Amino acid sequence: MRALAVAPADRAVRILEDFPPPGPPARNQVRLRMLEVGICGTDREIAAFEYGTPPDGSPYLVLGHESLAEVVEVDTACPTLRPGNLAVIMVRRPCPHAECTACRAGRQDFCYTGDFTERGIKGRHGFMTEFVVDDCDYIVPVPDELRPVGVLLEPLTIAEKALLQLWQVQQRLPWACPVEPGQSPQYCHRAVVIGAGPVGLLGTLVLVQAGFQTFVYSREPAPNPKSKLVEAVGATYISSRTTDVAGLADRVGNIDVVYEAAGASRVAFDVIRVLGTNGVFIFTGVPGRKAPTPVDTDLIMRDLVLKNQVVFGTVNAGRDAYEAAVRDLQQFMARWPAVVQGLITGRYPLDRAPELITGRPQGIKNVIQIAKD
Ligand code: BGC
Ligand code: ZN
């Protein structure tokens, strides 16, 4: 069967015509037919040979970790899945070490040892191929109505895991956004999202949905296609070309949360200077290594202490975040269907994958369509 592979030794990104198809599902396994696979910055880095590791003994790595698939065959030991179900496949698999309490608890997204594997990224083939088999523990069912946008679920889990942790941190401020009796909790706070790529825009939807007054801080001058999506959900787009970080802070007021989704450390450490009192700064980007840049460490450290600030980074996601993503994506589709569909700016056949992954990034989320129906 066909697959898109990266071969680091010959610095090649190519379509394999005869990648061996997986066998039938063994005990506790599921066979899936791949429908769509999203392309992200991580794929581009792997295709530039800066990141990623093929499975042991393989000269190449099949790319792709943002999946939407259809279940075709299920072992009887898998209780909830049925052939015909749509599904998204989780990315990370646990490390083998007995002492890794995170992996032993099924929370490999918090793996201590670093010996985890990730499908399509580190030590395991990914999803840019026709069929895959995996354990049913890693399959998350997706309602049929999410067929047009379900490929956004995996990148959405990044924001969901961040929000789950943010909730935990902000329990220290129980009086800040009072909850009416009988209502579910909603933040009343102000959030700044850095970056208007797919991770930033999905983070924006999550924050708006959670009740934040949300501002997106990104390079491109407005109006542009991304600023229009931002405004359509009631958030505010601010271009860093026209407004510097001090101006951003003036516009927003107390910045309660920063959701960094640009992967650029310079702008992040510029914005951290204006993080508000009791504020939380969340990093999700993985910057490439460039020359060191000067940072005013005294100012940042003073504010961290004197303003009760919290900084955390977050990677990958557990099943709780996948389930939250499924629920939220349904709500986003009810509230802003055109915006959610507008995040997917291109669908291409597998043949186009090499140029899309190695060429100049265009649009918002580009998707490889493996099967049409
Ligand atoms: C993926 C995560 C993964 C991370 C680091 C991201 O693009 O969405 O699942 O953990 O890359 O490899
Ligand atoms: Zn990704």
Q: Is the pLDDT of residue 185 over 80?
A: no
| pLDDT tens string 73-86 | 999 999 889 999 99
The tokens for 304 are 């961290």
| pLDDT tens string 284-307 | 999 988 899 899 999 999 999 999
* Average pLDDT of every residue of the chain: 96
Cα-based distances in Å from 107 to 66, 100, 132: 19, 10, 23
Task: Yes or no: say if 325 and 157 are a contact pair by the CB < 8 Å rule.
Answer: yes
Q: Is the pLDDT of residue 109 over 80?
A: yes
321 lines ligand 1 (CB under 6 A): no
pLDDT more than 70, % of the chain: 99
229 lines ligand 1 (CB under 6 A): no
Q: Is the pLDDT of residue 179 over 80?
A: no
For residue 289, the model assigns a pLDDT of 84
For residue 90, the model assigns a pLDDT of 98
pLDDT band (50, 70, 90) for residue 60: very high
For residue 331, the model assigns a pLDDT of 98
182 Cβ neighbours under 8 A, 6+ residues apart: none
29 lines ligand 1 (CB under 6 A): no
C-alpha 250 chain-centroid distance: 30
61 lines ligand 1 (CB under 6 A): no
For residue 186, the model assigns a pLDDT of 74
Nearest-angstrom CA–CA distance, 338 and 216: 19
Atom of ligand 1 nearest to the CA of 121: 12
352 Cβ neighbours under 8 A, 6+ residues apart: 368
97 Cβ neighbours under 8 A, 6+ residues apart: 103, 113, 115
Q: Is 264 exposed, middle or buried (0-12, 13-18, 19+ CB in 10 A)?
A: middle
40 lines ligand 1 (CB under 6 A): yes
Nearest-angstrom CA–CA distance, 120 and 239: 34
Q: How far is the CA of 368 from the centre of ligand 1 (A)?
A: 18
pLDDT band (50, 70, 90) for residue 92: very high
pLDDT band (50, 70, 90) for residue 129: very high
The interaxial angle of helices 225-232 and 198-209, nearest 10 deg, is 10
